[in-house]
Structure 1
Amino acid sequence: MSSPLGVFERGLSLWVALAMGAGVLLGSYLPDLFAGVAALEWAHVNLVVALLIWLMIYPMMVQIEFSAIKAVGRRPKGLLLTLVVNWLVKPFTMALLGWLFFRYLFAPWVDAQSAEQYIAGMILLGVAPCTAMVFVWSQLTRGDPNYTLVQVAINDLIMVVAFAPIAGLLLGVTDLQVPWQTLLLSTLLYVVLPLVAGILTRRHLLARGGTAAVAHWVARLKPWSMVGLLATVMLLFGFQAGVILDNPLAIALIAVPLIIQSYGIFALAYGAARWLRLPHPIAAPACLIGTSNFFELAVAVAISLFGLHSGAALATVVGVLVEVPVMLSLVALANRTRHWFPPQQES
């Protein structure tokens, strides 16, 4: 279906750039307003941002077909790719890049204590695979909603048992406490509630008008999903406007290895997906899950371990700032290279 939204989506990177600029500008001139919105959080999850992300996720959840989820077990390659990248590769490459840049390449500009803190923040990002925004990236690449749901759910289950040991190993911390409230609340807000709402909505629409009614409803929701994305970007940059303007050099230095990590992990996963001959609706979300981060969890752990104003917390915040523009560029790349992959066969 052709609509003005198609034009909007093609220029999404421009709109995101404008939202980033608007966030920094408004955050600078209206700091009290953004501080008030930032204070609306529970277990380090901002409730306003959670609502906006929920708005982005819900349209994809409406497309979930439970009858098709069982087919994921017959196509395990995409799931295995995501798990290998997330848990056997990404945390260790992130630690290696942090060590390389802040112990050696950036050593003339960063003192030793700050360098250790930045490395710690990067490690926490690397050990926290994304939960919420994956659904958005999957939707933008026309990913398989059923497969994406299973990938996210299994990653969340593994995160419960693997996050603390891997982060503790790489940080050299023997008694790392996982902020269970953040992990559980995020899973509830970003997976369980929108999934239940999607199931109920789909059941109602199918009863009233069949699959055509579902498609029409999803098309109507899509513009609001994009509005949610832009509003989220504006808020995130508005929250951190002071940090961005006060520490531009530190932010730029931290961003370099984070960006290299993102593109490098995506290239590795995308190449493996092509070698495995995964269909694009499975390959694209699988690779994007491995590239993006669960920044709420990383920020919460950084604050609890090192303090609110620590270099580790700053590094996790920079991860938040670079993620959306980087991920949008990877979404665009995935969409342009759709022809590299075989078509998806019906289950």
Structure 2
Amino acid sequence: MQPKLKFLDRFLTLWIFLAMFLGIVLGYLFPATSNMISSLSIRTTNIPLAIGLIIMMYPPLAKVDYSLLPMVFRDKKVISISLLLNWIIGPVLMFILAVLFLRNEPDYMIGLILIGLARCIAMVLVWNDLAKGNREYAALLVALNSIFQVFSYSFMIWLFINILPEKLGLANFNVSVSIREVTESVLIYLGIPFIVGLLSRYFLTRLKGKEWYQRKFIAKISPFTLYALLFTIVLMFTLKGDKIVELPMDVIKIAVPLIIYFVLMFMMSFFINKLLNIPYDKNVSVAFTATGNNFELAIAVSIAVFGIHSPQAFVGVIGPLIEVPILILLVKISLWLKKYSYKV
């Protein structure tokens, strides 16, 4: 039986639009709400927002079965191409698109680069199932990406934002990101949920069993990623309601390179794997892992480093708004390609 997208996930784009609208309405009609949210801060950290971001990151990381990691190198060809696509080709492609389309708006450019560096660890499992991919390989790749992300995200930001623009003659942007702030935010918003997720799986599977953990516990906590994401968006737009006039054109500016990225990344990944004679089910797992992005992490880092109403954080919010409908379309294209490219 063909798996279906869950109700909450199917209408994610709608929920994000509604959260934006609610935030804007609150910001305009109840300005005291904005002041109250701003007051709940310690130094530059907004407490409700920090809690929301950590909750947002916890379910995807609690889902990852890190015990699968020793199996990673059984199929060296598939794992090698996945690492190449995820950690070299994907970030470089998004960097190129960010420079091409947002060269005159460096804040949005940085936001797009941050998305390109954050590899998908959550929704990829949904896209993989819908496209009839290999669940074991998808789980393996998610576990691998999670580990890579914890230890490499700060370095990748330093390389792609602080170093490459200067080396390529783009230093006129005066682009610079504090790596100390990035590292601190990664440790807080990725490190804490990573450790809690690891401990959750370790202790709860021993107390209740793996079957209970996968079917009951994960099912209970999974929606909290969406709830926390929508909560974050409401907060952001409550604080930036004055930007409403600029939003439509800004959304289009950000959407165009994102759409190009998703389509190019998937097609490139799929046909590279096909040329290497990788079976369809593994091909799909690698392709969707390489195509999707961890918008939750990009939003968390953007807010922590640049602020809740920064252009960089706004780009992060637009990301899932565009990703969901495009990747649903790519699932349909993938099933069509299975029929005509693999003759099955």
TM-score, normalization by structure 2: 0.75
Alpha-carbon shift at residue 196 of structure 1 (Å): 0.9
| C-alpha distance 332-158 of structure 1, shift in aligned 2 (>3 A) | same
Q: Paired residue for 2:324?
A: 328
* Contact 2:106–2:175 (CA under 8 A) maintained in structure 1: no
Deviation at 1:292, TM superposition (A): 8.9
Contact 1:233 1:324 in 2 (8 A): no
Greater Cα shift, 5-14 or 254-263: 5-14
Match of 2:68 in 1: 68
Greater shift, 214-223 or 182-191, is seen at: 182-191
Residues 233-252 of structure 1: pairs in structure 2 closer than 5 A: 233-244=233-244, 248=245, 250-252=246-248
1:160 to 158, 161, 170: 158
Post-superposition offset of 1:131: 6.9
Secondary structure of the structure 1 residue equivalent to 2:115: coil
TM-superposition CA deviations, 1:32-88 (whole Å, max 9, x none): 322432455578664433322322322222232333224445312122112233442
> Within 1, Cα distance between the matches of 2:72 and 2:22?
41
Deviations 1:93-114, CA, capped at 9 Å, x for gaps: 2222235xxxxxxxxxxxxxxx
State whether residues 254 and 315 of structure 1, in contact with CA within 8 Å, keep that contact through their aligned partners in structure 2. no
Q: 1:179 to 1:300 in 2, by over 3 A?
A: farther
Aligned partners of 2:231 and 2:119: how far apart in 1?
Answer: 14
The residue number in structure 2 matching 1:339 is 335
User: Residues 79 and 151 of structure 1 are in contact (CA less than 8 Å); yes or no, is this contact kept in structure 2?
Assistant: no
Which residue of the other structure, out of 269, 274, 280, is the alignment partner of 2:265? 269
The gaps in structure 2 that reach 5 residues or longer are 129-137, 274-281, 339-344
1:196-225 deviations in whole A, cap 9, x for unaligned? 111111111111222112111101112333
- How far does residue 91 in structure 1 lie from its aligned partner after superposition? 1.8
User: Which residue of the partner structure matches residue 36 of structure 1?
Assistant: 36
SS of 2:177 mapped into structure 1: coil
Tell me which residue corresponds to 1:111.
none
- 1:6 has 2:3 as partner: no
Structure 1 unaligned regions, length at least 5? 100-115, 343-347
**Matches of 2:116 and 2:88 in 1, distance apart?**
15
Rounded to whole Å, the distance in 2 between the matches of 1:323 and 1:138 is 15
Task: State the alpha-carbon separation in 2 of the partners of residues 35 and 330 from structure 1.
Answer: 36
Paired-residue identity, %:
17
**How does 1:6-25 map onto structure 2 within 5 Å?**
6-25=6-25
1:219, 1:317 → 2: CA distance?
28
Q: Equivalent residue for 2:108? A: 122
Partner residue, 1:288:
292
- Map Cα deviations across residues 237-270 of structure 1 (whole Å, 9 max, x no partner): 22221222xxx2x433333232110000111110
Q: Bigger shift: 24-33 or 211-220?
A: 24-33
Q: Deviations over 1:257-305 (max 9, x none)?
A: 32110000111110112113354344223212299983565677778xx
Question: How far does residue 172 in structure 1 lie from its aligned partner after superposition?
Answer: 1.9
Q: Distance in 2 between matches of 1:9 and 1:67?
A: 27
Corresponding position of 1:104: none
Are 1:146 and 2:146 counterparts? no
Indicate conservation of the 8 Å contact 2:262/2:291, yes or no.
Answer: yes
User: For the Cα contact (< 8 Å) 1:266–1:290, is it kept in 2?
Assistant: no
Q: Kindly provide the amino acid, as one letter, of the partner of residue 236 in structure 2.
A: L
Cα distance in structure 2, aligned partners of 1:288 and 1:53: 19
Deviation larger for 154-163 or 12-21: 154-163
- Tell me if the contact between 1:265 and 1:290 (Cα under 8 Å) persists in the aligned partners: no
Q: What is the root-mean-square deviation in Å for CA atoms of aligned residues?
A: 3.5
Q: 1:71 to 1:340 in 2, by over 3 A?
A: farther
Query: 2: CA distance between counterparts of 1:331 and 1:297?
Result: 24
Match in the other structure for 1:194: 193
Tell me, yes or no, if the aligned pair for 1:57 and 1:135 is still in contact at 8 Å: no
Aligned twin of 2:50: 50
Q: Aligned equivalents of 2:319 and 2:333: distance in 1?
A: 21
Counterparts of 2:189 and 2:119, CA distance in 1:
9
